[in-house]
Amino acid sequence: MLGIRRLLSWLAASAVLGQAALYDNIKQLPSGLSFDFIIVGGGTAGSVLANRLSENPQHNVLLIDAGPSNADVLLTMVPGYNWRLRHTQYYWNYTTIPQKGLNGRVFNYDRGHVLGGSSSVNAMFYTRGASSDYDRWANVTGDDGWSWSVSSHTCSRWRS
């Protein structure tokens, strides 16, 4: 698992003070702060969760991520250019095991080692996943808002 030294990006948000700060190293984090929530993982889920929690003026939130900040990293913003980020500090450099069905070839398995996680290295593409997953979430949560038919409507509004 991750050693503490690998957790390089620290985003502290305090809605009480109406401010957020980004630190590259734990040593930069001001002492004496306390947090109501500490979120480990600044990918899509962790970042959205930290943002939503910090909307409450009662909450101090610390978001910890491995890797550097994605701020001003041009190649994370250019559609289709994620391959230029491979084998840099922004990638975990994972590969697949040799694929039997593909003549034993090994492929890059792109995962972001950067604030924003793999959403920072996704070449600005996204996929919605399988409709059955959405319907299962609706079923498990008892909230029809998760269903494919309802969420599809929301997604079509984003696209337009």
> Which positions from 68 to 87 touch ligand NAG by CB under 6 A, shown as an x/- string?
-------------------x
Q: Which stretch binds ligand NAG (CB under 6 A): 7-15, 29-37, 68-76, 88-96?
A: 88-96
Residue 131 within binding range of ligand NAG, rule CB under 6 A: no
Q: Is 89 in the site for ligand NAG (CB under 6 A)?
A: yes
Q: Looking at beta carbons only, is 51 or 88 nearer to ligand NAG?
A: 88
Residue nearer to ligand NAG on the CB measure, 99 or 149: 149
Alpha helices in 29-130 (DSSP H): 44-54
> Are the C-beta atoms of residues 70 and 114 closer than 8 Å to each other?
yes
- Residue among 160, 48, 132 at smallest CA distance from 13: 48
Contact with ligand NAG (CB under 6 A): which of 12, 82, 91, 134?
Answer: 91
By CB under 6 A, is residue 139 in contact with ligand NAG? yes
Residue with tokens 């994370």: 76
Half-sphere exposure at residue 109, Cβ-oriented, CA atoms within 13 angstroms: 9
The minimum distance between CB 30 and ligand NAG, in angstroms, equals: 27
Size of the site for ligand NAG (CB under 6 A): 10
Choose which of 13, 112, 113, 121 interacts with ligand NAG (CB under 6 A). 113
Sorted by sequence, the CB contacts under 8 Å of residue 111 that are 6+ apart come out as 91, 92, 94, 117, 118, 121
Contact 13/52 with Cβ under 8 angstroms? no
What is each CA distance from 124 to 23, 78, 128, in whole angstroms? 25, 7, 13
Interface residues with ligand NAG (CB under 6 A)? 87-89, 91-93, 113, 135-136, 139
